[in-house]
Amino acid sequence: MKKILVTGGCGYIGGHTIVDLIANGFEVISVDDLSRGSLRMLQGIEKIVGKPVKNYKVNLCDADDTETIFIENPDIAGIIHFAAYKSVPESVQSPLNYYRNNIDSLVNVLQCAANYKVNNFVFSSSCSVYGNTTTLPVEETAPLAEPESPYARTKQIGEAICRDLAKQNPDFNVTLLRYFNPVGAHPTVLIGELQEKPENLVPVITQTAIGKRAEMTVFGTDYPTRDGSCVRDYIHVMDIANAHTKALQYTLAGENTTNCDVFNLGTGNGVTVLELIKAFEKVSGEKLNYIIGDRRPGDVVEVYANNAKARALLDWDIKYNLDQMMDTAWRWEQAMKKEAARISMN
């Protein structure tokens, strides 16, 4: 059983990926300093997989603490690196925090990978590296535009660092995965997206529908799109998770034709904000209380993926449709409300 180190394993995508890795026969250890991730995620993972998952509570910006993980686990066969801050607006407010956290942690993990000869590395990147692209659906070969935020720039820099290391060491296999908009929750709803004050659309919708928020705002309906609202490529978090398992299997099996490959992880379907709201209302049976507001600075108008390369080379495909994304997101929100009620009664 090959052992995989998942950094940021107590976060949204990291947690769902651990479930998929274990379901596919991997042994997993997590490292997460719990500054953004939570032990609640770990508990949910353990309930789903039916066994304990070890998490090292380590800040990856500390090189010595990071190294202890590799000293204690000399049999790590691969690394999936999720650990990073990922709020677009927060990165605009505190760019240096984002550069220090997202780049220092990456460099420390890569340094250990080199020192301990861990030669399979998957980097969590983002469609935000494309900026306001004009060629749609966007392909991996599209030129990277000026990023809209320091968050997106840390992803561009992270990719460049990985590319340089792959050039320097032909034995080092790196896979860059560019996510579009991950949404939804594991079908058991024992895990999902845990954010108290989310800024992303889907958790804002479910919090509004369940009454945690009085109303929500659609940020602009005056864009040059079919209904005036922005277009995104929403993809179920379990489809994103499975792509990581497939990417590791791809390099561990030596099937990769290059030692630095990049893949778009999207469904290929562009959906507007208003269309997503309608899909949610249909699935949940709830009428959503929203107002139309001004555009949000930093938003790209339209972006959705050409995912043909990942489907062909990674033997990966989309298993969840938009209704299932909305259904699991809504059931997760309802499960969190029930859990909060149970806790408050104790």
Active-site residue list:
151
What are the DSSP calls for 72-96, one per residue?
H-TTEEEEEE--S---HHHHHH-HH
Q: In the set 21, 58, 230, 279, which binds ligand WQD (CB under 6 A)? A: 230
Residue 218 touching ligand WQD (CB under 6 A): yes
Q: How far is the CB of 152 from ligand WQD (least distance, A)?
A: 8
Residue type, 219: F
What are the DSSP calls for 304-322, one per residue?
-B--HHHHHHS-------H
Judged by CB under 6 A, the number of residues near ligand WQD is 20
Residue 88 touching ligand WQD (CB under 6 A): yes
Which are the contacts of 302, defined by CB distance < 8 A and separation ≥ 6? Answer: 136, 223, 225, 230, 231, 270
Cis ω on the peptide bond leading into residue 143 (within 30° of 0)?
Answer: no
Q: How far is the CB of 148 from ligand WQD (least distance, A)?
A: 9
> What is the DSSP code (8-state) at residue 302?
B
Residue 144 touching ligand WQD (CB under 6 A): no
Burial (Cβ within 10 Å: 0-12, 13-18, ≥19) of residue 281: middle
- Binding-residue pattern over the window 169 to 208 for ligand WQD, x denoting contact by CB under 6 A: ----------x-x-----------------xxx--x----
Q: Report which of 274, 268, 286, 267 is spatially closest to residue 325, judged by C-alpha positions.
A: 267
Residue 227 touching ligand WQD (CB under 6 A): no
Q: Which is nearer to ligand WQD, 281 or 299 (CB)?
A: 299
Q: Is 131 left (phi over 0), alpha (psi -120 to 50) or beta?
A: left
CA–CA dist 171, 222 (Å, integer)? 50
Q: Which is nearer to ligand WQD, 13 or 336 (CB)?
A: 13
Q: How far is the CB of 297 from ligand WQD (least distance, A)?
A: 10
Stretch that binds ligand WQD, among 111-119, 212-220, 244-252, 338-346 (CB under 6 A): 212-220
CB-based contact 95:130 (threshold 8 Å): no
Q: How far is the CB of 320 from ligand WQD (least distance, A)?
A: 17
Contacts with ligand WQD in 250-289 (CB under 6 A)? 273
Residue 219 touching ligand WQD (CB under 6 A): yes
Give the residues lining the site for ligand WQD (CB under 6 A).
86, 88, 126-128, 179, 181, 199-201, 204, 216-219, 230, 232, 273, 296, 299
